[in-house]
Chain A
Amino acid sequence: MSVNVVLVVVVGVLVGCGVTLVLERSLTRILVGFVLIGNGVNVLFLIASGAAGSPPLIGASDDPMSDPLPQAMALTAIVITLGVTAFGLALAYRSWQLFGHDDVQDDLEDDLVRRRAELDDTSATFDEADTDVPDEEGSDPA
């Protein structure tokens, strides 16, 4: 089948911008990126449905008609994206209420492990005799 190059470029730009935004730390930007990628993929569904310009599916006809199935899928995907985005925005707001920002944060325990590694300490569970180590670690303000 022949493919509309303009649509392909649109998909590329939308997904590219989306990926850039998803790589940000702020949840709001990630969600904007998610919406952009979602729209890009929806356009991809339009490409998958074949060439543009065919009439919609109405009654019986021998002429080629546009494929309704990808349109139905794109509609479903739009609804799902809407719902998930709404939840994500609520989460970003809650995060802002709690922390004053909506950044995606690092794993706390990973941080602890990394700090131990920098100090060249053993893990809390490694040395049975010396269980004071994790307490000092944990109360370290840095």
Chain B
Amino acid sequence: MNQLVLVPVILPLLGAGLCLVLGRSARAQRVVSVAVLAIVVATAVVLLVHADRHGPQAVHVGGWPADIGISLVADRLASLMLLVSTVVTLCVLLYSFGQGIVEFGRDTPLSVFHPTYLVLSAGVSNAFLSGDLFNLFVGFEVLLASSYVLITLGGTDARVRAGTIYIVVSLVSSIIFLLSIACVYAATGTVDLASLADRIQDLPPDVARVLQLLLLVTFSIKAAVFPLSAWLPDSYPTAPAPVTAVFAGLLTKVGIYAIVRTQTLLFPDSDLRTLLLWAATLTMVIGILGAVAQSDVKRVLSFTLVSHIGFMLLGVALASPLGLAGAIFYIVHHITVQTVLFLVAGLIEYRSGSTNLDRLGGLARAAPVLSVMFFVPAMNLAGIPPFSGFLGKLALAQAGIAAGDWLAILAVAASIATSLLTLYAIAKVWNRAFWQPAEDADDDESSAAGSMHGRGVGLQAVAEKQRLPLGMALPTLALVLVSVGLTVAAGPLFSYTERAADELVQRTPYVTAVLGDDR
């Protein structure tokens, strides 16, 4: 049973190799990718049930003891993240089939997409399951390296420009991560998370704080926490829609997951609460102010992505069981909702040839199904009752008020203001793109000036009058249903995240699963 933990990491890598071999046949590549990801989803379900009933599952790769070798651990938090991420990955893969013909043109090496995508999935799974810091670093590098390829897919000028920024920022964060691992090893003599949980307590407090800050900076860059978030809104929107969607859904959440894991396991009695609360507050407020100022759907969504990272960070900063449960719930909600919204933005681009609000209009009449698919997750994102976004925010607000000090109350107030501003930004998109009639039909001249998408816009404008392809619409619809399903199943899900948070706060289940009882 334990060995199943290896499947989500190894199987996509094997699948990636197989896809490279089958590079000439697009059909065979599709079959392999879908089969691999479907098996991983099934594995994740089994792991989730098993971790919930029998506690964390740990595997020592190669049979080495935990403090020397690599261990993979699936506890409640990790298996929930794994399940949600693989479901999202699978849906986005199906969506990319529908889009493939349009978006990737003839001169794009399509055969690269599938292997890279599977490697990305393996990297994300490895990061979620990893039981030691260095393996976490390797997982990050695997997913980052494949994200470099995906974000510059086709090598058009806009993607090279935006991809360069993304890559330079990621390089810096990787090197800081490596630096912090070296420091952790020098201070404690191990990189295994379970062993570190004990050994960090024995360090002098200032040394421990340096390690904590180094790790926090690393993961904050990856999670796009203010003031380390400026790279995100520029680099995401230019990539192909499915790539942006999966990045927005997963990559920042991997960073948040790493923050949750290290803060709860390694630094349980952190005295950086004030810093984290301020970071959460500023991330929320400044991110959403950016979203309000934008006039492109994808950029609005990128800024809301940055802003809502603050909600999750708020839960981590409070570090109470309720706060952590709310944060985990919010991560699950946000992965699905943000991915759906970027997929819908891709559909809007396909339908109208642009995502610029100045040139969109009348979509509610022209494409009613698309409008519904935008409206439901958009309201969910803004946190309108009874959607899951509202429930997550409610839990975080309750946790903040229960904490009682003025800074926590301030953060809760900021989160409520952020929700209202999210509603404002989203309503603006809704009004201008969907309700308001289209103003200018001939936009050939302005597209040259305002467009960030280069030649792609012209190509897609040809397809403007076509109906939505089912291959793109159905996976989007499926994810919309998943996000609504989170609302319907909110009770069981929230009690699950409460159990996961308890496990995080106790710390012993994780440590015992990795090191055994006889430590």
- Chain A residues at the B interface, C-beta cutoff of 8 Å: 22, 27, 30, 34, 37-38, 41, 44-45, 47-48, 69-70, 73, 76-77, 80, 83-84, 87-88, 91, 94-95, 98-99, 104-105, 107-110, 112-113, 123-125, 131, 134-135, 138-139
Contacts and interface: CB of A to CB of B under 8 A. Distances in A.
Q: 8 closest A-B pairs (Cβ-Cβ)? A: A138-B449, A48-B186, A107-B234, A44-B182, A124-B295, A125-B295, A138-B450, A48-B185
B175 interface: yes
Contact of A45 (B157, B182, B234, B358): B182
A125 B428 contact: yes
A131 B436 CA distance: 13
B357 interface: yes
B182 A48 contact: yes
Nearest to A133: B358
Contacts of B46: none
B148 interface: yes
B165 interface: yes
Interface string B277-298: 0000000000000000111100
Given A34-B175, A109-B299, A109-B452, A84 B145 contact: yes
Contacts of B163: 91
In this complex, the member of A83, A109, A110 whose beta carbon has the largest number of chain B beta carbons within 10 angstroms is A109
B145 A73 contact: no
Interface string B443-478: 001100110100000000000000000000000000
Contacts of B155: 94, 98
Given A27-B164, A91-B164, A73 B134 contact: yes
Contacts of A108: 161, 452
B110 interface: no
B493 interface: no
Contact of B145 (A22, A34, A83, A99): A83
B103 interface: no
A109 B157 contact: no
B186 A34 contact: no
Contacts of B168: 22, 27, 30, 104
7 contacts: A44-B183, A47-B186, A48-B182, A91-B148, A109-B234, A138-B446, A139-B446
A139 B181 contact: no
B158 to A, nearest CB: 8
Contacts of B450: 112, 134-135, 138
B49 interface: no
Given A99-B157, A138-B450, A41 B295 contact: no
Interface in B288-326: 293-296, 299
B502 interface: no
A137 B28 CA distance: 48
A77 B191 CA distance: 15
Given A27-B164, A27-B168, A87-B148, 16 more contacts: A41-B175, A48-B186, A73-B181, A73-B191, A83-B145, A84-B141, A87-B149, A88-B167, A105-B165, A108-B161, A124-B357, A134-B358, A134-B450, A135-B450, A138-B450, A139-B445
Nearest to B425: A125
B4 interface: no
A108 B293 CA distance: 14
Given A41-B175, A48-B185, A105-B161, A113 B293 contact: yes
B45 interface: no
Contact of B134 (A76, A94, A138): A76
A110 B138 contact: no
B68 interface: yes
B294 A109 contact: yes
